[in-house]
Each structure stands twice: as structure tokens, then as C-alpha cells.
Amino acid sequence: MNQAEAGFERAFEIAPNDVENLNAFYRLYILLNEYERAIELAEHIYSMDPTNPSLGVVYTSMGNYEEAKNILYEVLRVDPNNHAAHESLFFVEFHLNDLEASRESLMMLEKLSPNTSRAHSELAMAYGMLGYQEDARRHFESLEQLAETSHVRAGDWARAYAGIEEVDEVLRWLEYIDVNRAPEDMLVAYYDAINWANNPTLEHPKLLAVRESLRLRRE
């Protein structure tokens, strides 16, 4: 990750207001547990774009859910149909054990989501987290249909199988990511399927070795 950090710092010096670049790298600092730097970047993004939920995402990753919720509510006040903010708010409410509110956020998120493999994998995992297995399987089946005509990334499969609680398949796809070192899929696997989700499937002993391997590859 040192090389990636160095590359970002050079890019930041050249274009400090490039939101796309900043969005990519505040997540990097979350993964490195360098939250001060992540907050600094997210605050910079938020100052330029008050509809960007990045600051709420950082506080969610830190476990500061009340602060995250306040920020995300403000984002949604400005932009009620902000997909990323609704997604983050779902996780915040889930972690606060407000399952009714998280269910409402998830239903709104479903309305706003495109018909893509990533969206269906996210929705499958989210519904699985709340225990709505019928809805989780509905989105898993939509993912399978998309796979008939388009490529589905390994990280999307890992996330979707976590939603329907098929541990061996989650393990298989995470191992694939680990062996092939697919950077984007590694990010998906860690950031979405491991770092945020409290899905018991992801705490299964079989997954611990893969989790550790993914962590070591990031260092």
C-alpha cells in the first residue's frame, strides 16, 4: 500500500480538488485504519460537494454511528435520492440496531438501485443481514440472470453468497480473489463483505484464514 499512498500524494499535489481521486483514496486510508487522514480527505470532499456521503462513510467505518447518521441525514436533506447516502445510512441504522429504520433505508435503496451485478449483490447481502432470506435470494437470482449475458466480478459473487448464507461459496470466491490478487475485488471483499457487514456467515471459522490473508496482502 505504500506505493499506492505515494501515488496518491503525488496526484493530490497536482490536483487537490479532483473528487474522483479523493473518493478513491479516502477509502484507502480507511482500509489502512488511518482515520485522521481519511477524515481530512472526506471533509475536503464534503466542502466541495455537500451531496457526497464520504464523511459519513468514514465515521461509519470508525464505529461513530451517531455522527455518521447526522451527516448522512444532512446529505439526504440536500439530495433525497442519493443512492450512496441511503446505502451508508442502511449500515449505520443496522449497527445502531434500528432494524425497522434500516429496512426502510434498504427499501429506498432498492428503488434507486440500477439493474447491475454490483447492485444485486449489495442488496442480496443487505437483505441477508436483516434476515430476509426470500428477498436476498430474489436478488441473488437476478445476479445469476445477469451472469448469463455479462461478466460478474468475484467480489460481487462473494457478497451475494454471503447474503444467502452459503459459506463454502463465499470462501471459494474470496480464495479466488486472494490467489488472483484482483485489486478491485480485494477492495470489495474487504471493504464491503468483511469490514462493514455483521453477517454471521462472514464470521464462520472457514473464512478467518482468508480474511487474514486478505489483510496481509493489503499491508
How far is residue 206's CA from residue 219's CA, in Å, rounded to a whole number?
22
Cα of first residue to Cα of last residue in the chain, in angstroms, is: 6
Under 8 Å CB-to-CB from 194, ≥6 apart: which residues?
Answer: 202, 211, 214
Residue-wise over 123-153: b if at least 16 C-beta within 10 A, else e?
bbbbbbbbeeeebbbebbebbeebeeeeebb
Exposure on the CB side of residue 34, measured as CA atoms within 13 A:
14
> Could you read off the pLDDT of 141-193 as tens digits, one per residue?
999 999 999 999 888 998 899 889 888 898 888 778 767 766 555 555 554 54
Domains of the chain by residue range = 1-112, 116-219
pTM: 0.78
Q: Are 26 and 186 in contact (CB under 8 A)?
A: no
pLDDT over 60 (residue 219):
no
> Could you read off the pLDDT of 57-73 as tens digits, one per residue?
999 888 899 999 999 99
The DSSP symbol for 19 reads H
The length of the chain is 219
Looking at the structure, give the CATH architecture of the domain made up of residues 1-112: Alpha Horseshoe (1.25)
Q: Is the model more confident about 49 or about 15?
A: 49
Q: Are 160 and 124 in contact (CB under 8 A)?
A: yes
Q: What are phi and psi of 50, to 5 degrees?
A: -70, 0
| Grid coordinates belonging to 87 | 446505502
How far is residue 14's CA from residue 92's CA, in Å, rounded to a whole number?
34
